[in-house]
Structure 1
């Protein structure tokens, strides 16, 4: 049974990368809590399919096709969603791309492109969200890091570096925003069995090895990660800020 957080009712949540995987699970989860959800993504087909599946909640949704590597477009989307719903309570910096690269083959372009997706948008989205949240003297910002920032991972130097950077950003922004009662926390998932992962990297052999390293021998599902996001967005976590919370079945 999903916990009902009464404090989330009618709150406005903005989610980056919300059309698939963990992002889509969070869109669904927040809508089920009677929150209003704005989300962005560049995958138009996935976004429209998600919206159609939530047809009865259409009035609670706002979507825009947005390239998060363009800070001005990202911040414009947050501003427009704010004006659409007349408030912003929760910012979820979820967007990411976990492409693999051999270290010796990483060009300057590859490196900066990785940061432009996995690190930079979280700052510019948080900056825009702060300008709105401080008007109400309240808010929750949730960054998506990864346990890979703690344990490392082969062929993912850029991704791991960006996810580690998100932990530093979480700590810094928690101090900067605390005077306005705006909390900043990070979620560090293990290997989540999204459709993309199952189609690409999470093969049967890799999953077996990963499960062997976990205390709980079960797949980690997007919906379980979304449940943690609900808690961090709700008033039940009112005194939690500047923290990174692992959800990995005991992998770390």
Structure 2
């Protein structure tokens, strides 16, 4: 992730004249995660928008899952979402409010058979989102979830996409287009902005109408 992240920072600096802050952190290490959040706040002031978009969707069979695999899966796909929110919530309160956007997935809604540990974590994100929204709303902090359908990233193409599988999936969507990462941008900007100031504890599904 470091190389594409640095490349993105380079490109944005060239295009916009300002360099985004890139901080490398292992999300499984909570103290490192907290330190990164503190550095970001030190550089830019209290964080008022948090997008939790970490995920590792390795396929796995039920019989192959070990305790170590299960724990590592949740340490990437669920646990950081809570601790990043915990880290930024005081600053959002000082700022008079904020927006936390947790990425989940539609995979747990479609009975996906090949990654039960992952879908368990993604289902947990919705519960976490609602619990945080109930607690933090009193400080004008909104917490929502975004559930993408099958977004065709580089990783998806390298590991799992086949022409036949993708065509079959798109055929079940109301909108017959292949979903791209950029298709998530508008939803995130909406949830980050005051246009959604009364929207919290919700999950927005962005899947081209697959569900």
TM-score by length of 1: 0.81
Give, in whole Å, the separation in 2 of the partners of 1:156 and 1:80. Answer: 34
> Is the 1:51–1:58 contact (alpha carbons within 8 Å) kept by the matching residues of 2?
no
> Is 1:45 paired with 2:3?
yes
Query: How far has the Cα of 1:59 moved from its partner?
Result: 3.2
Give, in whole Å, the separation in 1 of the partners of 2:91 and 2:187. Answer: 24
Higher helix share: 2
Query: How far has the Cα of 1:220 moved from its partner?
Result: 0.9
Give, in whole Å, the separation in 2 of the partners of 1:60 and 1:180. Answer: 31
**Unmatched tracts of structure 2, length 5 or more:** none
Query: How far has the Cα of 1:78 moved from its partner?
Result: 0.6
Alpha-carbon displacement from aligned partner over 1:10-56 (angstroms, at most 9, x marks no partner): xxxxxxxxxxxxxxxxxxxxxxxxxxxxxxxxx22111111111123
2:173 to 214, 231, 236: 214
SS at the partner of 1:216? coil
Give, in whole Å, the separation in 1 of the partners of 2:71 and 2:111. Answer: 19
> Is the 1:89–1:133 contact (alpha carbons within 8 Å) kept by the matching residues of 2?
yes
Counting only pairs closer than 5 Å after superposition, residues 18-167 of structure 1 correspond to structure 2 as 43-56=1-14, 57=16, 59-167=18-126
Query: How far has the Cα of 1:137 moved from its partner?
Result: 2.0
SS at the partner of 1:64? coil
> Is the 1:62–1:81 contact (alpha carbons within 8 Å) kept by the matching residues of 2?
yes
Higher strand share: 1
Query: How far has the Cα of 1:193 moved from its partner?
Result: 1.1
> Is the 1:134–1:180 contact (alpha carbons within 8 Å) kept by the matching residues of 2?
yes
Alpha-carbon displacement from aligned partner over 1:60-118 (angstroms, at most 9, x marks no partner): 51111110001111111011100111121100000100000111010000001100000
**Unmatched tracts of structure 1, length 5 or more:** 1-42
Query: How far has the Cα of 1:149 moved from its partner?
Result: 2.1
